[in-house]
Structure 1
Amino acid sequence: MLKNLDPLLNADILHALRSMGHGDELVICDANFPGSSVARESVLGELLHLDGVSAPRAIRAVLSVMPLDTFIDHPASRMEVVGEPQTIPAVQREAQIEVNAAEGREVPFVSIERFAFYERARKAYCVISTGEERGYGCFVFTKGVLLAPDAPQS
């Protein structure tokens, strides 16, 4: 165990999060997502796992250590419901609460059409599969920066 780290964050996930740079993207997906095949095309090239965990809980763990990008308009995205782009399923509403809590501000999800989501996920730094059984528990997050208190802000 390590102090002040969410116990869900295993060594593989911590390594991936630490290796990511500003602007790199991370995917958190549900159990129905084709995670293995998509992750093979990601920068990391392998699927990471948080089995048995809901997508919102995985988001809480990841965002407890990873800042979202503040230099772009939409650092958080969700897979939109096929044929119903305005529908926000419960899993996405729960995820929105976790994102806002982690950032201490409103960070609304932007929606991405299902097949466009797959393409974007293939270009991500890494893909983390959860045990989320509800559909549309799939999200993309863009990593931000942590600046030292005395560093110039741009």
Structure 2
Amino acid sequence: MLKNLDPLLNADVLHALRSMGHGDELVICDANFPGDSVARESVLGNLLRLDGVSAPRAIRAVLSVMPLDTFIEHPASRMEVVGEPQTIPAVQREAQTEVNAAEGREVPFASIERFAFYERARKAYCVIATGEERGYGCFVFTKGVLLAPDAPR
């Protein structure tokens, strides 16, 4: 065990998060997402797993150590419901709460059409599969920076 570190963050996930740079993207996906095949095309090239947890809980763990990008308009995105792009399912509302809490500010999700989401996920740094059984528990996050206190903003 490590102090002050969410116990969900296994060694593989921590290594990926630490290896990512500013602007790299990470996907957190539900159990229905074709995570393995999509992850093979990602930068990391293999699927990471946080089995047995919901997507919002996985987001809480990841964002406990990874800052979101503050230099872009939408550092967090969600997969749109097919045929209902304005619908926000419960899993996405719960995820929004986790994102806002982690960042200490409102960070509204951008929406991405399903097949466009797949394409973007293939270009991500890594894909993390969860045990989320609800549909549309799929999200993209862009890593930000942690600046020294005396660095220009």
What's the CA shift string for 1:11-41, capped at 9, x where partnerless? Answer: 0000000000000000000000000000000
Post-superposition offset of 1:150: 1.1
- What do you get for the CA RMSD once the two structures are aligned? 0.3
**1:23 aligns to what SS in structure 2?**
coil
Post-superposition offset of 1:68: 0.1
Identity percentage of aligned residues: 94
What's the CA shift string for 1:27-63, capped at 9, x where partnerless? Answer: 0000000000000000000000000000000000000
Post-superposition offset of 1:112: 0.1
Q: How many residues align?
A: 153
TM-score, normalised relative to structure 1: 0.99
What's the CA shift string for 1:118-142, capped at 9, x where partnerless? Answer: 0000000000000000000000000
Point out where structure 1 has 5 or more consecutive residues left out of the alignment: none
What's the CA shift string for 1:37-96, capped at 9, x where partnerless? Answer: 000000000000000000000000000000000000000000000000000000000000
Give the match for residue 86 of structure 1: 86
TM-score, normalised relative to structure 2: 1.00
**1:41 aligns to what SS in structure 2?**
coil
